[in-house]
Structure 1
């Protein structure tokens, strides 16, 4: 028996994991509404397909997001899986980044996803089913990467609201999963995807070293395969009991495990102080 065709709504679909997700889902015969700031670029990259709805959407304009969700339901009649994939990397020491630069990163990486969630949830609640994937990062679980403080803060925020959201929508039979990828071989570290501060401070040598490492050594040598990463997300969407957190990549797994062990050790070392503050 053929399972019922699902309708997916994917943001940031013109490159990276988003574009690979669109490609694999269409190959499986699923309905895909894909958003980008440039609709013609999406059409060019994906081509014509009766199951494909390319949408030009401004993620930080909630009224515009509402139109995109409505257009999806109008074309396909339903909405089943939402993937909040849109976002961009911001590199710079915390002191270097201006208020405007930091807020713009939060607007896209955090508030953009919240705009989508608010517009999609009434439909998912009404049908009492659905799955929301929020793409975070291993940088949403640990932040000790010089130069990625603000970016990590946005991805920590994604984890925070994902965990709360998962509890809030349980009664509606809606699943929520945070995806925490490690380094995948996408264009994330390319100049057109990774923003750097306008006003750099020479004193931050460790930040400059980290920047050079990411741009010249890590970029194009990432261990993660986007094809396999996307296949894992699609597999998770079909699971009866999907995880709340899904780490992708051997590097993400190792970094998360090290963080857990380090936190456990620190917690026990300072336990006496921690528990001494109760009445």
Structure 2
């Protein structure tokens, strides 16, 4: 079992849910996010429910790239090792390109992809020193095709994350370091709460249970929940452009 797990973006949504699930399994947790008040509340909750584990927290904006390296090393030093790192911090994009909101689209691109590179760099340095570890990148089913409107930039960043994960899998093939790419469908969190067209959306508890199961299996690529998103992913990729445009 991967005992010491680092999760970025751990104060809300999927990060918070995964922290609760792994705490219940007896794992030690290194949790970071921008909102320290939420992190501290989560830390207190988990230690009260599971007094045999360690839960350490740090404030972190993943777009403060130098700080990413510092925080990851501090967590490693405090826990002794990092067995798994979840590159989870992310955000949605708000506007279609060309509608005057470049700043928010740039922020989404930097948070979802450039910051993911920083997290991967920091994690892989530690894993290579240890000669072991499990790196998990959170992509999205939306990364399998281009999406229109406000989802355009978000989908593009998640496609980039999936490509980054595959490249890292090639780099680590045959080594004690595993890399997993997770592609969630619609799981109810703040990032998609206001989305009206969210087919097959599941509640947070169901989604987190499926996520943790997929991550613990350490497969190279997993759609979550498996049904219906695994078969749908093939359909989305194979769908002719005109048909896809009408559907989306």
Same fold (TM over 0.5): yes
Say how many residue pairs are matched. Answer: 235
In structure 2, distance between residues paired with 1:38 and 1:175: 30
Structure 2: which 5+ residue stretches go unaligned? 48-52, 244-248
- Matched ranges for 1:199-238 at <5 A: 214=195, 217-218=196-197, 223-238=201-216
Q: Does 1:248 align with 2:248?
A: no
In structure 2, distance between residues paired with 1:58 and 1:8: 18
Indicate conservation of the 8 Å contact 2:138/2:181, yes or no.
yes
In structure 2, distance between residues paired with 1:99 and 1:90: 10
In structure 2, distance between residues paired with 1:182 and 1:228: 12
In structure 2, distance between residues paired with 1:97 and 1:30: 45
2:188 to 185, 190, 194: 185
| Partner residue, 2:239 | 262
Structure 1: which 5+ residue stretches go unaligned? 192-213, 267-279
**When the two structures are superposed, what TM-score results if normalisation uses the length of structure 2?**
0.85
Deviation at 1:58, TM superposition (A): 1.7
In structure 2, distance between residues paired with 1:59 and 1:81: 17
- Matched ranges for 1:1-279 at <5 A: 6-47=3-44, 49=47, 50-190=53-193, 214=195, 217-218=196-197, 223-239=201-217, 242-249=218-225, 250-262=227-239
In structure 2, distance between residues paired with 1:253 and 1:146: 24
In structure 1, distance between residues paired with 2:159 and 2:237: 15
Deviation at 1:135, TM superposition (A): 0.6
What does the per-residue CA deviation read over 1:121-161, in whole Å, with 9 as the maximum and x for residues that have no partner?
12211222211111111111122344311111111110111
SS at match of 2:96: coil
What does the per-residue CA deviation read over 1:39-95, in whole Å, with 9 as the maximum and x for residues that have no partner?
222111341525111110121112211221122112210001110111011132222
Deviation at 1:251, TM superposition (A): 4.5
SS at match of 1:86: coil
* Farther off after superposition, 42-51 or 78-87: 42-51
Deviation at 1:8, TM superposition (A): 0.6
In structure 1, distance between residues paired with 2:193 and 2:203: 17
SS at match of 1:144: coil
Indicate conservation of the 8 Å contact 2:6/2:84, yes or no.
yes
Greater C-alpha Rg: 1
| Partner residue, 1:201 | none
SS at match of 2:180: strand
In structure 2, distance between residues paired with 1:185 and 1:255: 19
**When the two structures are superposed, what TM-score results if normalisation uses the length of structure 1?**
0.76
